[in-house]
Structure 1
Amino acid sequence: MTTTQDTLDDDDEKTFEEQRARIDHPMRRLFGEYGRLHRGPLGLGLGASLFAHTLALLPPFVLGVAIDAVFLDTREFGLPLVPQSWLPASQSGQFWLSAGLVAASFLLSAVFQWGKGWGLSVFAQRVQHDVRSDTYDAMQGLDLGFFADKQTGELMSILNNDVNRLEQFLNGGLNVLTQLLVTVLGVAGLLFYVNPQLALLTLVTVPVIAVFTHRFVQTIQPMYADVRSTVGRMNSRLENNLGGIEVIKASNTESYETDRVTDTSKEYYDTNLEAITTRVKFFPGLQLTAGIGFVVTFVVGGVWVFQGPPGPFTGVLEIGQFVTFVYLGQRLIWPMAQFGQLINLYQRAQASAERIFGLVDEPTSLPERDDAEDLAVTEGRVEYDDVSFGYEEDSAVLDGVDFDLDSGEMLALVGPTGAGKSTVLKLLPRLYDVHEGAIRIDGHDVRDVTLGSLRRSIGYVSQETFLFYGSVKENIAYGTFDATDEEIRRAAEMAEAHEFITEFDDGYDTLVGERGVKLSGGQKQRVGIARVLLQDPDILILDEATSDVDTETELRIQRSIDRLVEDRTVLAIAHRLSTIKGADQILVLEDGRVVERGTHDRLLAEDGIYADLWGVQAGERDVLPSR
C-alpha cells in the first residue's frame, strides 16, 4: 500500500534528482571554489606526498645496482642523473654510499609522510568545514516553502553524510592519487632505465587495468547516486519517527513503524549491497590482473637470468636488475589495485558534491534586491493592499486581503481553521512573498527592504513555540544574545513566566530538553513571548500565542499585551475571542477572504460570523448556525 508519506518521499527524491541534474563538473567546482582558498596545506600535502612516494622507490633500485656492481661486480656502479665522476671508485665506497642512500630515503620518506598527513588532513578538514557552513547558510536563506517540501532527514544527510564523503576523498583519495601517479610513472621510468624490453612486458597490464576501471566507473556511478538517495530517505524516516515517538506509543503503532523503518532500511541494504557487490568484484579482478603481470615478469625475468633472453628478447639481464624488477613490480601491484579504490572514492565524492551544490544552488523565491535599503520603522503603520497568495501556483489561500493598521493599533484575525489567518501574518516578515498586491510598513514595500532589517523590526510568536536545547535563559535571549540577566528577567516577568521559572531548582539555568520537552505547552508559550519581548520589536505578531495556556495565565498574558499596544503595532490571532475584545480592528476571514471587519461591538451588532463564534464561546449558543 502506498502511503502519503511514501508519496512525499518519492516527490522529495525527484526534486533532489532535478537539483543534481543542474550541476556540471561538481568536483572541478569544489576545487575551484574551495581548493584555492586553502592551497597552502594542499600544496604541502601533495608536495610531501610526491616526495614520500618517490623516495620509496629508491631502495629497490639502489639494491639492484649494489648487487650487480658491488657484490657480483658484473657491471659498473651508476645512478641515473648522477655524473660518474661524483661516485666513489672503490667497492667499499660504493657499498657505503648505497647504504647511506637507502637510510636517507627511509628517513626523508618518514618526514615527508608526516608533511603529507598534516597537509592533506588540514586541507580536507578546512574544505569540509567551509562547505558545510556555506551549504547551511545557503539552505537557511531559502523560503519556508522549500522546507515544507523536504524531509529533514534528507537535508541532514546532505549536511552531514555527503560533506563527510568529500573529506574522505580530499584526504585519502588525493594521497592515493599521488601515490598512484608517482608509482606508475616512477616505476615505469626506472624499469625502462634498467631494461626497456622487460619494462614493456611488465607494464602491459596498465592499459588493461585502465579499460577495466573505465567499465567499473560507468557501472558504479549511478549506483552511488542511488545509495546517497536511499540514505537520505532512511534518515528522513528515522528523524520523523524519533520526533513522533510519543504519538507512536500513544497510538500503539510500534510494529507498523518498525515495518516502515525495516522497509526503508531494506531499500538502503539492497541498493548499497548492489554497489558493494560490484565493487568487490572489481577490486579482486583488478588485483588479479596486476598480479598476472607480476608473475609474467618474474617468470620471463627468471628464465632470462638463468638461460639467456627468451623469445624476442635480446641482451643480458643481470641478477641485480632482475631483483629490481621483482621489487618494483611488486610495488606496482598494490597501487594499481588502489586505483579502483581511488575511483570508488571519487565517484562517491562526486555524487555527494552534486547533492551539496544542488542544495547550494537551489533558487529562493525570496530574493533580496540589490538596491534594498534597511527598514527604519518610524510609526509602525502596516498596510495590506489587495493581497493574494497561494502555496501552490493553482491554489489560492488568500484572495484580495486589504486593510490598514495605524501605529500603536491592534488588529485581530478571526475565522475557522484553514481560513488563512496564519498565512496573512507570515507574509508580513516575508516568510513567504505575496503573489499579487503589496504589503507596506510605513509606506515601504517589504520586498524593497533588506530581509534582516525587516525581520528585526517584527516580533513573531507562533502557535507552536519552538525551544532550542539549552537553558531557559538561553532560549529567552535567543536573538538578543547580548541581553543582561536583568533584561531577561524583566522580559520573563512581562510574559508572566518569571514565577514558574524561579520554581525550578536551577531557575533560569534549567535545561528545557529537546524542543522544550521538559516544559508544559503553556510554559513554552510564555518563554516564547518573553523572547520576543526582549527583542523589543516595533511590530508584534501573535499567532494564537495563548492557545496553550490556562485561563489564569491567559489573563496575565493579556495584561502584558494590553501594555504593549500603547507603543507597538500588534497583529494577533486568537482562538479565544475574549483575548481580542479590545482590538482596534477585527477581521473575519473565510476561505481566504475578508468577510467581516470592525470592532468587537460593531461585529456583534452585525450578527454575522463573528457574532456566531462569540455566542458559542460565551455559552449563548450551542452550535454554529449554517450560513
Structure 2
Amino acid sequence: MSNENRTNINPPKRMRGPMGGGRMGSGEKAKDFKGTIGKLIRYIGNYKYGVFAVMVCAMFSVVFTVAGPKVLGKATTALSDGIMNKISGKGGIDFGYVGKILLIVLALYGVSCVFNLIQGFVMTGITQKICYRMRKEISEKINRMPLKYFESRTYGEVLSRITNDVDTLGNGLNQSITQLITSISTLIGVFIMMITISVPMTLITLITLPVSILLISFVIKHSQKYFKSQQEYLGHINGQVEEVYSGHHIVKAFNKEETVKKEFHDTNEILYKSAWKSQFFSGLMMPIMQFVGNLGYVGVAISGAYLAINGKIEIGDIQAFIQYVKNFTQPIQQVAQVSNMMQSMAAAAERVFEFLDEEEEDQFVANPVDINTVKGNVTFDHVNFGYNENQTIINDFSADIKEGQQIAIVGPTGAGKTTIVKLLMRFYDVNKGQILIDGHNVKDFNRGELRQEFGMVLQDTWLFKGTIMENIRYGRLDATDEEVIAAAKKAHADHFIRTLPDGYKMELNEEASNISQGQKQLLTIARAILADNPIMILDEATSSVDTRTEQRIQRGMNNMLKGRTSFVIAHRLSTIKNADLILVMKDGDIIEQGNHNELMEKDGFYAKLYNSQWAQQEETA
C-alpha cells in the first residue's frame, strides 16, 4: 500500500503574511549573476541541440531580413533612373525589372518569416519543457526535505518558487535568448550591409551609438530601484489583501477596519509612487531612441545626398541605408530590455536553484528493516532532543511501550508532547539516545516505509476542495463507497453527513468553511479509520467537538484502536482514563507514568491536572 494511501497526515494551515506571495519582479537582481547563468546553461544542456537550432534559425531569419533593404534599394534606383530617362526622352521605367526585385524581396521576407516561426516554435517547446522539469523537481524535492525547512518559512515563500519564479524564468528564457540572438545578429548583419553601401555614412551612424548607450544606461540606472520597489510593495499589497480577506471576520470582530484601510492606503501609496516613476523612466526609452535615431537620419540624409550628387552611391542606397539606420538603433534598445529581463530571470533561477540545493532527508538506508514484520513495540531509550543545538526541549526521555497498548501523553503546553510524535515519525532525528520499533532503530527503516505504518489525526483539520466522499476516501484511495460510509459511521459522522445538501456528494469549498469545525474533525477521523494504519497517533483529535459528540467519537475510536499501538495526546484528561499507559510530561521529561488509577493514587502532578479540570468544568457548569 502506498504511503499516500496509508498515512493520514493533516498538514498545518497555510501561513500567511505580507510577503507570503511571490516577490519576483523585473527589478530584482541575482546575488551571483554569472554563477547562476552558468548553472542555468548547464541545466538546459539536455536541450543544447534545440537551442542550437534556435540560434541557426534566428541567424538565418536575420540574414534574409537584413538583405531585404539593399535589394529593395535596387528597385528605388531603377524607378529613379526610369523617371530621369523618361524626362530626358531616353526611355522609361522598366516595370518588369522592378517587379522581379519586389518578388525577390517578398521571397526574402517570406523565408525570414518561416525561420522566425520555426525559431519561436522550438524555443517555446524548450522553455515549457524546462519549466515542467523544474516544477517536477521542486515537487519531488518538497517530499525529500526536512520538516524544519517548512516550519521556518511561510508557505507563500515556498509556493512562489513553483509559480512566480518558474514563470519568470520561463518567460525570460523564451524571450531573452531569442531576442538576444536576434538583436546581436541584426547588429552585425546591419553593420556589414552598411559598410558595403558606404563607409563614411556608416561612421556617421556609429557616432550615435555611444550616445544611445549612455542615455539608455542612464534610464536603466535610475529606473531599476523603482522597479524593485514596485515589485516589493506589490508583494506587500497582495499579501495584505490575501491576509485580510481570509481573516475578515477577525478584522470585523476586533473593529480594525479603519486600521486595515490605513495600512493598505499607506502601502498602496508607496506602490503608486514607485510604479509611476518606474513607468515614467521606462516610457522615456522610446522617445530617447527615436531622438537619437532621427539624428542619425539627418546625418545619413545630408551625407547621402552629398555622395549621390558626386556619383559615389545610388539613390536606392540612401533609401536602404535609412532603413538600416532604423534597424541598427532598434536592436540596441532591445539588448537593453533583454539585459533587464535577464537580471530578473537570473534572480528567479537563483531562487529555484537555492531551493533545489537545500538539505534533504536521507530517504533510504542500506539493508532496511522489513516493515511487514513490525508488530508495534516502541521504546524510547534516553532520548535527548532540541530544535536548536543550544536549546534542549526533551531531556533523557525513556519509555517502553508494548504492542497493542494505548499510550496517552499528557502535560502542560510546551512539555514536548507533539515533539515526541515528530521524533517517532522521523520528521526530526534525536540528538542523543534512540527510538526503537520492535528492537530496531527507526533510522534503520526507509523513511517512507516507516511512515506507512502511522496514521494521524491532528487538532488542525485539513480538507481539500471536493466532495465529502472524496475527502474521506483520501485515507485509502481504492476504498469503495460502502467502505467510506462504514468508516463515517464508526466516526459518528454518517448522521450529520446525510443531513447536509447532497450528503456524501456535497462539495466542500476551498477552506471547507461550509461545514463546522467539529464536522471537519469528524471527517478527518473517518479518514483515519478508513486508512486502517497499524500505529495510530491522535493529537487532540476531539478538541474541536462538544463533550457529547466527543463521547460518541471516543467509543468509535476505542473500537478502531483495539489491537493497535496508539499514541493519544490530549488536554482533556477525561478522554484518556482507559489508556493502558499514561505518560505525564513536564519540561521535556516524563515525571510520572502509569494508568489513570495508579496516577490518581500517587496524588502527584497528574492528579492535580485532572482535579483542576474537573474544578473548571464545575465552575463553568
TM-score, normalised to structure 2, is: 0.85
Which one of the candidate residues 45, 48, 51 is aligned to 1:36? 45
SS at match of 1:324: helix
Structure 2 equivalent of residue 460 of structure 1:
456
> How far 1:473 sits from its partner (Å)?
1.8
Cα distance in 2 for partners of 1:471, 1:27 equals 46
- Call closer, same or farther: CA 1:433–1:294 in 2, change over 3 Å: farther
SS at match of 1:371: coil
Question: Within the alignment, does 1:72 sit opposite 2:81 as a pair?
Answer: yes
Question: What is the deviation of 1:233?
Answer: 4.4
2:65 is the alignment partner of 1:56: yes
Q: CA deviation at 1:45?
A: 4.5
Match of 1:168 among 145, 168, 171: 171
1-side partners of 2:253 and 2:618: how far apart? 31
Given the superposition, is the C-alpha separation of residues 518 and 208 from structure 1 closer, same or farther in structure 2, using an over 3 Å criterion? same
8 Å CA contact 2:219–2:284 kept in 1: the answer is no
State the distance in 2 between where 1:236 and 1:131 align. 25
Q: What pairs up with 1:22-421 in 2 under 5 angstroms?
A: 25-33=35-43, 35-39=44-48, 42-43=51-52, 45-68=54-77, 72=81, 94-210=97-213, 229-269=232-272, 275-276=278-279, 278-281=281-284, 284-306=287-309, 308=310, 316-364=312-360, 366-368=361-363, 371=366, 373=368, 376-377=371-372, 378-421=374-417
Which amino acid letter does the alignment assign opposite residue 60 of structure 1?
Answer: P
Which deviates the most, 505-514 or 63-72?
63-72
Between 476-485 and 212-221, the greater mean CA deviation after superposition: 212-221
Q: Give 1:615's match in structure 2, choosing from 593, 607, 611.
A: 611
Q: How far does residue 46 in structure 1 lie from its aligned partner after superposition?
A: 4.3
Structure-2 residue corresponding to 1:538? 534
For the Cα contact (< 8 Å) 1:282–1:340, is it kept in 2?
A: no
Q: CA deviation at 1:519?
A: 1.7
Q: Distance in 1 between matches of 2:443 and 2:409?
A: 23
Counterpart in the other structure of 2:90: none
Cα distance, 1:533 vs. partner? Answer: 2.2
Unaligned segments of structure 1, at least 5 residues: 14-18, 75-89, 309-314
Q: Say whether the 8 Å CA contact 1:388–1:436 is kept in structure 2.
A: yes
User: Aligned letter for 1:543?
Assistant: D
Contact 1:154 1:233 in 2 (8 A): no
Offset at 1:376?
Answer: 0.5
Q: Give the secondary structure class of the aligned counterpart of 1:379.
A: coil
What SS does the aligned partner of 1:519 have? coil
SS in 1 for 2:403: coil
**Cα distance change on mapping 1:6 and 1:557 into 2, 3 Å:** closer
Structure 2: runs of 5+ lacking an equivalent: 1-14, 24-28, 84-92
Instruction: State the SS of the aligned residue for 2:528.
Output: helix
AA aligned to 2:166 is V
Deviations 1:588-607 (A, max 9, x none): 11122211111111101100
Please say if residues 154 and 232 of structure 1, whose CA atoms lie closer than 8 Å, have aligned partners that are also in contact. no
CA distance in 1, matches of 2:59, 2:45: 19
Contact 1:287–1:337 (8 Å) recurs in 2: no
Kindly tell me: are residues 137 and 292 of structure 1, through their superposed partners in 2, closer, same or farther at Cα, counting changes over 3 Å? farther
Kindly state the Cα deviation for residue 259 of structure 1 after the two structures are TM-superposed: 2.9
| Residue in 2 that maps onto 1:512 | 508
Q: Does the aligned pair in 1 maintain the 2:73–2:320 contact within 8 Å?
A: yes
Q: Distance in 2 between matches of 1:591 and 1:20?
A: 44
Cα gap change, 1:63/1:286 in structure 2, threshold over 3 Å: closer, same or farther?
closer
Matched positions, count: 589
Are residues 284 and 164 of structure 1, via their aligned partners in 2, closer, same or farther at CA, if it must alter by over 3 Å? farther
Task: Assess if the C-alpha contact under 8 Å between 2:469 and 2:484 holds in 1.
Answer: yes
Single out whichever of 211-220 and 103-112 deviates more from structure 2: 211-220
CA distance in 2, matches of 1:373, 1:32: 35
Of the two structures, which has the highest relative contact order with CA contacts closer than 8 Å and spacing of 6 or more? 2
Distance 2:142 2:221 in 1: 31
SS at match of 2:612: helix
Matches within 5 A, 1:555-594: 555-594=551-590
Find the aligned partners of 2:216 and 2:379 in 1 and give their Cα distance: 65
| CA deviation profile, 1:176-221 (whole Å, cap 9, x unmatched) | 2233122111111111222233223323434554566567667766
- Judged with a 3 Å threshold, the aligned counterparts in structure 2 of structure 1 residues 484 and 267 are, in CA distance, closer, same or farther, namely farther
Taking the aligned partners of 2:191 and 2:601, their CA distance within structure 1 comes to 97
Q: Percent identity?
A: 33
Q: How does 1:452-491 map to 2 (within 5 A)?
A: 452-478=448-474, 480-491=476-487
- TM-score w.r.t. structure 1 length? 0.84
How far did residue 577 of structure 1 move?
Answer: 1.6
Tell me, yes or no, if the aligned pair for 2:30 and 2:343 is still in contact at 8 Å.
no
Alpha-carbon separation, structure 1, partners of 2:388 and 2:266: 31
Match status 1:603 vs 2:592 = no
CA distance in 1, matches of 2:101, 2:616: 107
Residues 24, 316 of structure 1: alpha-carbon distance in 2 compared, 3 angstrom cutoff = closer
Change (3 A) 1:71 1:47: same
Q: Per-residue CA shift, 1:295-314, capped at 9, x if unaligned?
A: 322322223223x3xxxxxx
Aligned-partner SS, 1:114: helix
